[in-house]
Amino acid sequence: TSTPLKARPLVLPPNVTREDFGTFLREIIDLVGNGNVEIITSEDQIDDRSYMNPAHTHDPHHVMEQDYFLASAVVAPRNVADVQAIVRLANTLSFPLWPISIGRNSGYGGAAPRVSGSIVLNMGKNMNKILEVNVEGAYCLVEPGVTFQDMHDYLVANNLRDKLWIDVPDLGGGSILGNTTERGVGYTPYGDHWMMHSGLEVVLPNGELLRTGMGALPDPKRPDTMGMKPEDQPWNKAAQLFPYGFGPYVDGIFSQSNLGIVTKMGMWLMPNPGGYQSYMITLPKEDDLKQAVDVIRPLRLGMALQNVPTIRHILLDAAVMGSKAHYSSKSEPLSDEDLDAIAEKLNLGRWNFYGALYGPKPIRDVLWDTIKGAFSTIPGVKFYFPEDTPEDSVLRIRDKTMQGIPTYDELKWIDWLPNGAHLFFSPIAKVAGEDAMAQYAVTKRRCQEVGLDFIGTFTVGMREMLGTLGADHIVCIVFNKKDPLQKKKAHWLIKTLIDDCAANGWGEYRTHLAVMDQIMGTYNWNNGAFLKFNELIKNAVDPNGIIAPGKSGVWPRQYSKVTHKL
């Protein structure tokens, strides 16, 4: 037996001594090897780095102090068996583990754990294989470290783009698995990622391995697969085709949750539609948002709008093309006149609608006539195809995104301010002009109050299965992370908006670590029945509270909420 490690991490989790940490880390190093373990013992290791080279120790977009949410160590398991062994060891100490896939999670906390001193489990470093791309069934099976960019590159390298596309979010560097379990979105007809997944493989808090949906039904035994470890066994042939299987549909409790560590996921790929045309519709006036949203609702419900379109505020587009200093010498928020001037300079509207048509030309033509006709009822709208816009236009970027080609250009809006960092505030609203205007008015007023520019976008989601539509209104809170006062303002803004929105019946669909408790607190119908049920599940499935305590505001019984309140 080897001797315990004598390491002094900057931070330990609650109720874990340095000796326990040393013993635990020694065992982990013996298991995964030195090269897969980094212990955070010095401030020098806390480096914000960049999107292209993401930090795994903390949140590079820190709205609290830089080291407020800090890992004690970053550990990269090599395979499923390592994950199981680590989980079993963690149980003996109630040691918190925070799984990530790639750890970018930009605007929502990066790789940082909710409980400082947790071990960040870097699932993507070694477990990064595309296990299958099935052309006939139009799906893939991936490990945690496969990014949207990786999948796109694979399709290109194998001459498969004429058959299959992968739906991508605004930036291509995130993992398919992490983004999907967080219920992230993209912008093709397959934009609702969670809806498009089929089959999860999960290491449970007790170390057991689970496959969901049809994955629970074994593939028939064959001589060549006999004796394989469960994680290496082929999946049931329908596991990536039919997501539900039999019995309670448990996939949901592994999304935005802390009930397991996902090791494989099936994902649907979009068949190449056989034709594509992106477009932009500019809306000249601020108030046009109202009519536009009412125009969009029936089009989206009826599927004339085939993809997840966005209505972007002028400053989001302006910020992609230049920093605030590029447009104005003001430090206070820009005025209506300033925004009009920017819109005119960039040949854009105060709001700009981005969508795409999919299918052979006759289909696209009919849809375009329908969409154009409906939008033409708004005075002053203009219609553009990418070739009608400058080389660096946002439409040319969205043209790629809406056909599943990853880009990185949207990173630029973070540089609106010097030392730009950002937080996403993402409330859900019904797709109705009045609601959109009301939500915009609330957020804009609070931005002005605190002295930050309103930068935002409405993403019109796919809700037709429920018979209604919902839109995510994403407010991009950009702040200078080297300016403590601005950080305070950004934090105040998001906290205030959460309460304002809840008072109007709007809740967030996803959030940053710093406000998970607050948001869970707003989902409090009938004496908090929802949180109570989640805690019941958490304590039953993870009795030692080892997986991501505090994630989404769900705490295991070992943690007193009071001591972890921000």
Residue numbers at the binding site for ligand ADP (CB under 6 A)? 99-105, 111, 123, 144, 174-175, 177-179, 181-182, 261-262, 548, 551
What is d(CA 176, CA 361) in angstroms, rounded to the nearest whole number? 31
What is d(CA 201, CA 221) in angstroms, rounded to the nearest whole number? 19
Backbone angles phi, psi at 512, to 5 degrees: -75, 150
- CB-side neighbour CA atoms (13 Å) of 326: 16
What is the smallest separation between the CB atom of 179 and ligand ADP, expressed in angstroms?
A: 5
What is the smallest separation between the CB atom of 102 and ligand ADP, expressed in angstroms?
A: 3
- Output 171 or 469, the one with its CB closest to ligand ADP: 171
Which single residue brings its beta carbon nearest to ligand ADP? 174
What is the smallest separation between the CB atom of 251 and ligand ADP, expressed in angstroms?
A: 12
Contact assessment for residue 203 and residue 214, using Cβ atoms and an 8 Å cutoff: no
The residue annotated as part of the active site, out of 108, 327, 354, 384, is 108
Backbone angles phi, psi at 373, to 5 degrees: -60, -45
**From the centroid of its chain, how far is CA 199?**
19
Q: Which residues contact 121 (CB under 8 A, 6 or more apart)?
A: 75, 76, 77, 83, 86, 97, 98, 99, 100, 261
The residue annotated as part of the active site, out of 279, 350, 510, 559, is 510
Instruction: Please confirm, yes or no, whether 108 is among the known catalytic residues.
Output: yes
- Output 111 or 442, the one with its CB closest to ligand ADP: 111
The DSSP letter of residue 218 is P
- Output 102 or 315, the one with its CB closest to ligand ADP: 102
- Output 144 or 309, the one with its CB closest to ligand ADP: 144
The residue annotated as part of the active site, out of 354, 358, 509, 559, is 509
What is d(CA 479, CA 491) in angstroms, rounded to the nearest whole number? 10
Contact assessment for residue 419 and residue 180, using Cβ atoms and an 8 Å cutoff: no
What is the smallest separation between the CB atom of 550 and ligand ADP, expressed in angstroms?
A: 11
Burial class (CB in 10 A: 0-12, 13-18, 19+), 221: exposed
Q: What angle do CA 250, 75, 544 make, to 5 degrees?
A: 50
Tokens coding 496? 């205030």
What is d(CA 343, CA 30) in angstroms, rounded to the nearest whole number? 59
- Output 123 or 299, the one with its CB closest to ligand ADP: 123
- Output 98 or 506, the one with its CB closest to ligand ADP: 98
Report, as residue numbers or ranges, the catalytic residues. 108, 509-510
